[in-house]
Amino acid sequence: MRSLIPSEYQNLKNAYDITDNIKNCRCLDEDISEICIKNMEFENEDLSYLSFNIVVFDNCKLINCDFEKTSFTNVLFKNCDMSNSVFNESYFGKIDIVSSKLVGSIFPDSVIKCTSFNNCLCSYSVFNESSLNNVNFKDSDFVDAEITNCKFKDITLSNCRFSGTSFFRTQLNGIDFTDCILEAIRVSDDFSELKGIKVNELQALELSSLLKIIIV
């Protein structure tokens, strides 16, 4: 599921300030493309309606920024902090997010395709009404995250923590949680989200308390 082959990552031109790129691309309605953005710090910045294509964000801080309707295609986020940023109606296609923080970041009404989250801190993040297709979550933390009313397809999980996570109105049919921590999750009163979910024995015991099943 890699978005770019390593040689493409290595051959990108380094950039430490993309302020001029943003201005030019807004004026010309062009993509910000084929650069490696390193050690950049943006806070409370308007980065909405931009398009990033074949871009690496390396060790960047993008805190509390507005990425409304921003498009990311063939992008690597590595060692980045995107906490409390807003990705409203954004598009992610062929993305790798590695060793990064997305604490409190929100992705409402977004499309996330062919994307991997690897070793990411996503506690308190919000994915309301988003579409996730061919997405891999590995070694990542979703404590108290809101993954609600989402459309899931081809989702794979490995060693993730879902503690206090809300899956309200998100159908989990066929998703394998057996390699993850699954505790105190929140679902609707009819528990319809849990139909067809794959869990191990300990997780089944945890869910039995949620379903108010008495095991004797």
How many other CB atoms sit within 10 Å of the CB of residue 136? 17
Given the candidates 3.40.309.10, 2.160.20.80, 3.40.630.30, 3.40.1670.10, the CATH classification of the domain at 6-210 is 2.160.20.80
Cβ contact 93:116 at 8 Å: no
**What would the pLDDT profile of 193-215 be if each residue is shown by its tens digit?**
999 999 998 898 888 877 765 55
Q: Above 80 in pLDDT, residue 6?
A: no
> 3-state class of 87 per DSSP?
coil
Q: Report the run of H or E that residue 206 belongs to, with start and end.
A: helix 201-210
**Domain range annotation of the chain:** 6-210
pLDDT for 121 equals: 98
> 3-state class of 169 per DSSP?
coil
* CA nearest to 96, candidates 144, 135, 146: 135
- Model confidence at 36, pLDDT cuts 50, 70, 90, reads very high
**What would the pLDDT profile of 68-109 be if each residue is shown by its tens digit?**
999 999 999 999 999 999 999 999 999 999 999 999 999 999
Residue with tokens 């993008």: 62
For the full predicted model, state whether its pTM sits above 0.85: yes
What's the length of the chain?
Answer: 216
Cα distance between residue 142 and residue 163, in whole Å: 7
**What would the pLDDT profile of 149-197 be if each residue is shown by its tens digit?**
999 999 999 999 999 999 999 999 999 999 999 999 999 998 999 999 9
Averaged pLDDT of the chain: 92
- Residue 23, C-beta contacts closer than 8 angstroms, at least 6 positions apart: none
Residue with tokens 């300030």: 17
pLDDT for 1 equals: 52
